[in-house]
Amino acid sequence: MNAPVPPTDPLVLFMPSGKRGRFPVGTPLLDAARSLGVYVESVCGGRATCGRCQIEVQEGNFAKHKIVSSNDHISPKGPKEERYERVRGLADGRRLSCSATVQGDLVIDVPQDTVINAQIVRKAASDRIIPRNPAIQLCYVEVDEPDMHKPLGDLDRLNAMLAKDWGFEDILVAQHLLPDVQKILRKGNWGVTAAIHRDLETSRPNLIALWPGLHNMAYGLACDIGSTTIAMHLVSLLSGQIINSSGTSNPQIRFGEDLMSRVSYVMMNPDGREAMTKAVRQAVNELTVKVCSESGVNPDDILDAVFVANPIMHHLFLGIDPTELGQAPFALAVSGAVHTWSREIDLAVNHGARVYVLPCIAGHVGADAAGATLSEGPHRQDKMMLLVDVGTNAEIVLGNRNRVVAASSPTGPAFEGAEISSGQRAAPGAIERIRIDPDTLEPRYRVIGVEQWSNEEGFEDAVKATGVTGICGSAIIEVVAEMYLSGIISEDGVVDGGQASRSPRILQNGRTFSYLLRESHSGGPRITVTQNDVRAIQLAKAALYAGIKLLMEKQGVAQVDTIRFAGAFGSFIDPKYAMVLGLIPDCDLAEVKAVGNAAGTGALMALLNRDYRREIEKEVSRIEKIETALEPHFQQLFIDAMALPNKVDPFPRLAEHVTLPEKKAATDADRGGGRRGREGRRGRS
Amino acid sequence: MNAPVPPTDPLVLFMPSGKRGRFPVGTPLLDAARSLGVYVESVCGGRATCGRCQIEVQEGNFAKHKIVSSNDHISPKGPKEERYERVRGLADGRRLSCSATVQGDLVIDVPQDTVINAQIVRKAASDRIIPRNPAIQLCYVEVDEPDMHKPLGDLDRLNAMLAKDWGFEDILVAQHLLPDVQKILRKGNWGVTAAIHRDLETSRPNLIALWPGLHNMAYGLACDIGSTTIAMHLVSLLSGQIINSSGTSNPQIRFGEDLMSRVSYVMMNPDGREAMTKAVRQAVNELTVKVCSESGVNPDDILDAVFVANPIMHHLFLGIDPTELGQAPFALAVSGAVHTWSREIDLAVNHGARVYVLPCIAGHVGADAAGATLSEGPHRQDKMMLLVDVGTNAEIVLGNRNRVVAASSPTGPAFEGAEISSGQRAAPGAIERIRIDPDTLEPRYRVIGVEQWSNEEGFEDAVKATGVTGICGSAIIEVVAEMYLSGIISEDGVVDGGQASRSPRILQNGRTFSYLLRESHSGGPRITVTQNDVRAIQLAKAALYAGIKLLMEKQGVAQVDTIRFAGAFGSFIDPKYAMVLGLIPDCDLAEVKAVGNAAGTGALMALLNRDYRREIEKEVSRIEKIETALEPHFQQLFIDAMALPNKVDPFPRLAEHVTLPEKKAATDADRGGGRRGREGRRGRS
């Protein structure tokens, strides 16, 4: 309609997008929404049979928008809509936008079922709506029957109808459909539902699946393949609703606990790469079966899948040898986004399903970091955001809309409880919270699965079932921080043997000292924090902090405005203790947030909206990658960061939350201690 | 170069295209050719190492073009070209156009190795040059080494170089290459050859294969899958040269001799479709191995393949159930061109190789007819061309640049020697030529594999080895025509018992008569032509002629200007006898030509030049399809065509070549004879 629309035409406002326009009386609301670029699903193409295009009228006087909206301003239900309501049911207030027409001013609510909330992502910053624009569209068409006068093939007539009814020109047909086209058309009595995939606007639309009649289901997977854990969301591509979320451990662990040992396994074993690829793909398939069967979804209805992973998992999952990532110059086989087919990676979903893998940022900063960046969006805001995902390597992203920089830092596995004498995974029996009395040096702690603190009544009874078996990753941060706050260790990380006179918990082990957290008890182990444990945490935190500091220097900032901790580790640590130890720079603690599996959230966003794919592809090419190994300054930053919280940076805001021990002036001897790294060191007593 | 070129710049004319332009002194001839759209191959990208860009200077005074061309007007060989000559050799007069530059006016010959000539296509109309523009291009690039400051993946840097050096933007990478990219790049010391496939200009370029270093070989297959025979050309995509051509029988014959019996086999056997698909693909693979091993080509260097086939072979080869083609409305699963990958149809060539299948015209007019149309080009000329491919169905195309119509006509297998009492395949021992003396009614004939005619000395000795075993397809036409010309059969096709008094070769069989061609001889069979044989040929020729006549009526023409016989049958029959029998309408005999496997030639053209793919796709959508079964008039045309040459059409030009028997005025009784079809009929004696 190029004719000017009279200003007296009714005004329609769509929420939550806020897009608005004037439409002649009688315009179907689906058409109105589409002409404004408001995404409303429809499978049946306006036949009022799929029920995907539901909307709701918001009644009331919206003075701000100068709209008085009422159900009187929408057409009453016609026979088709009434039939749908009778057969399928329609919730109170819901209308089918393909049938309901504009009769007056309206405020229309387009229900958004994809809300990232606390059930999905632990401690999410806030509930967030993901606007939808999936790469997959289901299209019901009624195909002309064969005509000997115009002997176009069945498939060609199907394509012609997809062009006519849905605007898809020049369709590319997945080869595996050719043998089935005729049977499906006849089974559906010439009515069929086609799944069209179009990711890039410049690519030809792809016919990837076909069903007889109206097929009103399409699902997608968003999956984060971590070294330890594989996490997956099953999502309806038609409603945007998250149907199920689950996780499983990465079976590659049997080839090597950490990433580098898996690369070594590939280098040492001729079939190593293949075995690990097979293992991870099988685990993804088993997890897919699990999320599907728990929610009654047929895996054949899964048409799209988005993956994020760190570079080594990314390569192994795609069947690429990761050897090059194990050595400088850490060359990725492919850094750009990977667009492929489910069958190319043996994914047990629809044979025509598509796969999208987010781009990798660098050899040590993977598609998972890209996913976390997409989720948290430093590039979408003015605040200087620090985004940290701690694993064996810490992936660090720092920036705002002007500029984003990224690096990885070799923290090692200490934060995950490895290389810690009493370290263990987060599981029942593991200590997860610790406080130390600065006067008596007596500890109290909480154990996973038990309500009481260790000094509370009933604790020993409660832990009988599991015992107290070790310290989990998040608690290691706390115990070292508490040891520092209570003066058991100095700011240089030395366990102070001089304190042994104050408390029997300070134990001597040869030339160093350790702290006794819990005596061996009814068969449970003796749990101590040794000088080596403290050194391991110091090294890890120094690596992390040095990486952060390097990026802050690149950005030319002395402070960050907001901090996001992604990943499991980040979900459990207390930001206050992270700052006491100097894992992170000084920041308003209210601005330090754990965002759970942000990488998986990024995958989910890319699954539900292909615009996010373009956004992260563009952003990844724009992000400046800093290779810590090439920065001569990194070593000095690392040494400076060994101290608690560190040697050089002020933490003015920390004092608002904790009482810091009296700070001793740095001496040359202290610096030497930093330089000597892992070596044991005599106490100052 | 947007600056105006001074008119004093040297003039360069490229042959055989005749394209010309002025270029500044020093312009490499490869650049000059490309800027004019003259296709000159180059793999190495101007490094003077692949030798694919050779040209020759034509010396002389080309007065018509106002050019005096001389080898003095081209730069002398530089060090790179001299090195190539020393290492690889360069034929006399040949130059590398990437290194040789314009120094004065030049006439340049771009060697065209693809010439369709008599060795390739029997009795070809004329040698023809196929201009080249293949869908595959080999591109040598030197890729930047990994850089930790710019951690783009290896593949991403390869793509960047393909964009920079070769202009391929937004490359789509075949998934199966991902695991190999890093090893290939390192093996080639960062120099690799990429195979880029781009068929449609609007599609993204596709990286389909990759080799370390300079890979200077790329081949393609052009293949015609007939019901009886599979024919294949192996072609160099870099030179256009046909390396080898061969054929094999279609092993599907064991499931059914003709097309309809194969469709029945599929309908009766649950695994029938799969078994036939497997059989034909295996035969294609074995033929591929044969043409490759005979010419020392590695099948892994085959990167593109083009197929033509009749609709049922087309479907079975692509794995599609052909049942719908066995019954009205004869619905094709797909009529448009099929673009796919070698691995999708189990083709044992390069894993990334592409496959292109020409479009089908209608349910009975297949991709083979499209290939023949592309080869003979009725749509490219003013003359009204009749193109006939005779098999179990005759595929008929009639038209010129204004309009093309097509139909198939159910000739049945008589022309192929089936349903003929003494019919057999063309093989040693089969009669291939026959003459009958109109006075004595004595025959003389030639046998395949023997020089002499049967009435010449030494014939009986010569045929001892094979015996005389039957009559092959082309000779069946001749013997019926000669029987008509000698008065043994009437224009209604009745074997005239009255002639028995003139010759002992007229034998009575119950109520009908037959003609004795050869008495049983040293164990060989008695060879006769029976009344039923004549009826079978009459029915076949009536079907063919009625189809042709229908199309002539659609075109509104009483005559055709030129006739092309495609296929094996057409290669051996004598046009004169075809006209005597009324297989074809009256036409200047000099304009009746056999063009051999024109369908295969069309496949070859589509392999060597993707512009031909667009041409035939467009033409097929434009061709008007006539379904004979839907034309009420067809039955009358069929009846009228039963007589010899036929009842209604004049054949004025036939009298120039043969003495026709005195024509008897048509009577009602004769027409009745035609209507009764296959029934025996009493002689007129």
Determine the Cα–Cα distance for residues B372 and B361; give it in Å rounded to an integer: 11
Determine the Cα–Cα distance for residues B251 and A478; give it in Å rounded to an integer: 76
The answer to whether the Cβ–Cβ distance between A182 and B362 falls below 8 Å is no
The answer to whether the Cβ–Cβ distance between A147 and B329 falls below 8 Å is yes
Per residue in A156-198, pLDDT (tens digit) is 999 999 999 999 999 999 999 999 999 999 999 999 999 999 9
Output the pLDDT for position B411: 85
Residues of B in contact with A146 (CB under 8 A): 324, 329-331
Output the pLDDT for position A124: 39
Residue A120 in this model has a pLDDT that exceeds 50: no
* CB A515 within 8 Å of CB A478: no
Say which residue the tokens 């048509």 belong to: B666
* CB B107 within 8 Å of CB B29: no
Determine the Cα–Cα distance for residues B668 and B670; give it in Å rounded to an integer: 5
Per residue in A457-494, pLDDT (tens digit) is 999 999 988 889 999 888 899 999 999 999 999 989 99
Question: Of B432, B427, B426, which Cα lies nearest the Cα of B465?
Answer: B427
Residues of B in contact with A321 (CB under 8 A): 179, 182-183
Determine the Cα–Cα distance for residues A110 and A97; give it in Å rounded to an integer: 10
Determine the Cα–Cα distance for residues B619 and A74; give it in Å rounded to an integer: 50
CA distance A507 to chain B (A): 46
**Which pair of tokens denotes residue B584?**
């074809």
Residues of B in contact with A335 (CB under 8 A): 151-153, 155-156
Residue B599 in this model has a pLDDT that exceeds 80: yes
Residues of B in contact with A625 (CB under 8 A): 149-151
**Containing H/E element for A94?**
strand A94-96
Pairing of strands B338-341, B354-357: antiparallel
Q: Does A398 touch chain B (CB under 8 A)?
A: no
Pairing of strands B470-471, B338-341: unpaired
Residue A117 in this model has a pLDDT that exceeds 80: no
Question: Of A96, A93, A109, A99, which Cα lies nearest the Cα of A12?
Answer: A109
The answer to whether the Cβ–Cβ distance between B152 and A335 falls below 8 Å is yes
| Domain A219-357: CATH class, spelled out | alpha beta
Q: Does B394 touch chain A (CB under 8 A)?
A: no
Half-sphere exposure at residue B99, Cβ-oriented, CA atoms within 13 angstroms: 21
Residues of A in contact with B155 (CB under 8 A): 333-336
Contacts A–B by Cβ distance under 8 A = 160
Answer yes or no: CATH 3.10.20.880 is held by domain B136-212: yes
Q: For chain A, how big is the Rg over CA atoms in Å?
A: 29
* CB B491 within 8 Å of CB B664: yes
In terms of pLDDT, which residue wins out, B195 or A643?
A: B195
Of the residues A150, A202, A318, A332, the best mutation for testing chain B's interface (the one with the most B CB atoms within 10 Å of its CB) is A332
Q: A522-536, B166-180, B210-224, B654-668 — which is least confidently predicted?
A: B654-668
Beta bridge partners of B11: B22
What is the DSSP track for B423-447?
Answer: B--SSTTEEEEEEE-TTT--EEEEE
Nearest to B155 among A150, A152, A334 (CB): A334
Ramachandran assignment for A118, one of left (phi > 0), alpha (psi -120 to 50 degrees), beta (any other): alpha
Output the pLDDT for position A4: 62
Instruction: Name residues 638-667 of chain A within 8 A of B (Cβ).
Output: none
Nearest to B336 among A156, A319, A344 (CB): A156
Most confident of the following: A13-22, A397-406, B194-203: A397-406
**Which pair of tokens denotes residue B130?**
């196929």
The answer to whether the Cβ–Cβ distance between A338 and B178 falls below 8 Å is yes
**Which pair of tokens denotes residue A493?**
């990380």
DSSP-based three-state secondary structure for B102? strand
Pairing of strands A136-142, A191-197: antiparallel
Angle value at C-alpha A300, between A294 and A304, nearest 5 degrees: 95
Residue A666 in this model has a pLDDT that exceeds 80: no
Pairing of strands B394-400, B385-390: antiparallel
Residue A684 in this model has a pLDDT that exceeds 60: no
Output the pLDDT for position A407: 95
Residue ranges of E strands in A274-343: 302-309, 338-341
Instruction: Name residues 118-177 of chain A within 8 A of B (Cβ).
Output: 145-156, 159, 170, 172-173, 175-176
**Residue B597: what residue type?**
N
The answer to whether the Cβ–Cβ distance between A176 and B330 falls below 8 Å is no
Name the DSSP class of A169: -
Q: Nearest-CA residue of chain B relative to A154?
A: B333
The answer to whether the Cβ–Cβ distance between A148 and B361 falls below 8 Å is no
Determine the Cα–Cα distance for residues B450 and B471; give it in Å rounded to an integer: 14
Torsion of CA A629, A631, A636, A638, to 10 degrees: -40
The answer to whether the Cβ–Cβ distance between B329 and A363 falls below 8 Å is no
SS (H, E, C) A338-365: EEEEHHHHCCCCCCCCEEEECCCCECCE
Per residue in B111-165, pLDDT (tens digit) is 876 555 433 443 333 467 788 899 999 999 999 999 988 889 999 999 999 999 9
Residues of A in contact with B176 (CB under 8 A): 344
Residues of B in contact with A405 (CB under 8 A): none
Determine the Cα–Cα distance for residues B542 and B549; give it in Å rounded to an integer: 10
Q: Cis (ω within 30 of 0) for the bond into B16?
A: yes
Per residue in A61-87, pLDDT (tens digit) is 999 889 999 999 999 999 999 999 999
Torsion of CA B418, B423, B428, B433, to 10 degrees: -120
* CB B681 within 8 Å of CB B509: no
Name the DSSP class of A400: E
Neighbour order of strands in the sheet with B172-173: B136-142, B191-197, B206-212, B172-173
- How many Cβ atoms are within 10 Å of A164's Cβ, its own excluded? 11
Per residue in A418-467, pLDDT (tens digit) is 788 998 877 889 999 999 999 999 999 999 989 999 999 999 999 988 88
Residues of B in contact with A173 (CB under 8 A): 334
DSSP-based three-state secondary structure for A162? helix
Question: Of B131, B110, B115, which Cα lies nearest the Cα of B40?
Answer: B110
pLDDT band at A3 (very low <50, low <70, confident <90, very high): low
Output the pLDDT for position B7: 64
Output the pLDDT for position B8: 85
CA distance B263 to chain A (A): 15
pLDDT band at A677 (very low <50, low <70, confident <90, very high): very low
Q: Which residues contact A659 (CB under 8 A, 6 or more apart)?
A: A438, A485
Instruction: Name residues 313-342 of chain B within 8 A of A (Cβ).
Output: 318-321, 324, 328-336, 338-341
Q: Which residues contact A595 (CB under 8 A, 6 or more apart)?
A: A121, A123, A124, A125, A372, A375, A376, A564, A565, A566, A570, A601
| Structure ipTM | 0.87
The answer to whether the Cβ–Cβ distance between B328 and A175 falls below 8 Å is no
Pairing of strands A11-15, A106-109: parallel
pLDDT band at A114 (very low <50, low <70, confident <90, very high): low
Ramachandran assignment for A213, one of left (phi > 0), alpha (psi -120 to 50 degrees), beta (any other): left
Question: Of A648, A640, A639, which Cα lies nearest the Cα of A677?
Answer: A639
Q: Does A270 touch chain B (CB under 8 A)?
A: no
Nearest to B340 among A175, A183, A320 (CB): A175
Question: Of A105, A89, A109, which Cα lies nearest the Cα of A40?
Answer: A109
The answer to whether the Cβ–Cβ distance between A148 and B360 falls below 8 Å is no
Residues of A in contact with B187 (CB under 8 A): none
Q: Where are the domains of chain A?
A: 11-109, 136-212, 219-357, 373-413+536-675, 420-530
CA distance A207 to chain B (A): 13
Name the DSSP class of A609: B
| Domain B11-109: CATH class, spelled out | alpha beta
Nearest to B156 among A170, A336, A629 (CB): A336
**Which pair of tokens denotes residue A515?**
């702290």
Instruction: Name residues 49-108 of chain A within 8 A of B (Cβ).
Output: none
Mean pLDDT of B260-287: 94
Residues of B in contact with A152 (CB under 8 A): 332, 335
> Which pTM does this prediction carry?
0.88
The answer to whether the Cβ–Cβ distance between B181 and A341 falls below 8 Å is no
Question: Of B256, B320, B667, which Cα lies nearest the Cα of B494?
Answer: B667
Residues of A in contact with B338 (CB under 8 A): 175, 178
Determine the Cα–Cα distance for residues A135 and A221; give it in Å rounded to an integer: 13
Q: Nearest-CA residue of chain A relative to B337?
A: A156
SS (H, E, C) B103-136: CCCEEEECCCCCEECCCCCCCCCCCEECCCECCE
Q: Which residues contact A676 (CB under 8 A, 6 or more apart)?
A: none
Residues of B in contact with A202 (CB under 8 A): 170, 204
The per-residue pLDDT of chain A, averaged, comes to: 89
Identical fold, B136-212 and B219-357:
no
Q: Which residues contact A342 (CB under 8 A, 6 or more apart)?
A: A305, A349, A350, A351, A352, A353, A354, A355
CA distance A600 to chain B (A): 23
Q: Nearest-CA residue of chain A relative to B184?
A: A333
Q: Which residues contact A212 (CB under 8 A, 6 or more apart)?
A: A184, A185, A187, A188, A189, A191, A192
The answer to whether the Cβ–Cβ distance between A331 and B363 falls below 8 Å is no
Say which residue the tokens 């202009």 belong to: B167
* CB B436 within 8 Å of CB B487: no
Determine the Cα–Cα distance for residues B36 and B270; give it in Å rounded to an integer: 57
The answer to whether the Cβ–Cβ distance between B333 and A151 falls below 8 Å is no
Pairing of strands B54-57, B106-109: antiparallel
The answer to whether the Cβ–Cβ distance between A321 and B182 falls below 8 Å is yes
In terms of pLDDT, which residue wins out, A525 or B667?
A: A525
pLDDT band at B33 (very low <50, low <70, confident <90, very high): very high
CA distance A325 to chain B (A): 11
- How many Cβ atoms are within 10 Å of B385's Cβ, its own excluded? 23
Determine the Cα–Cα distance for residues B464 and B429; give it in Å rounded to an integer: 9
Instruction: Name residues 184-213 of chain A within 8 A of B (Cβ).
Output: 202-204
Q: Nearest-CA residue of chain B relative to A335?
A: B153
Instruction: Name residues 353-372 of chain A within 8 A of B (Cβ).
Output: 360-363
Say which residue the tokens 């002649």 belong to: A24
Output the pLDDT for position B3: 60
- How many Cβ atoms are within 10 Å of B665's Cβ, its own excluded? 5
Q: A20-24, A423-427, B347-351 — which is least confidently predicted?
A: A423-427
The answer to whether the Cβ–Cβ distance between B146 and A330 falls below 8 Å is yes
pLDDT band at B413 (very low <50, low <70, confident <90, very high): confident
Share of chain A above pLDDT 70, in %: 93
Q: Cis (ω within 30 of 0) for the bond into A329?
A: yes
Q: Nearest-CA residue of chain B relative to A341?
A: B175
Angle value at C-alpha B588, between B582 and B590, nearest 5 degrees: 110
Name the DSSP class of A496: -
**Cα B206 to the center of its chain, rounded Å:** 28
Mean pLDDT of B197-208: 91
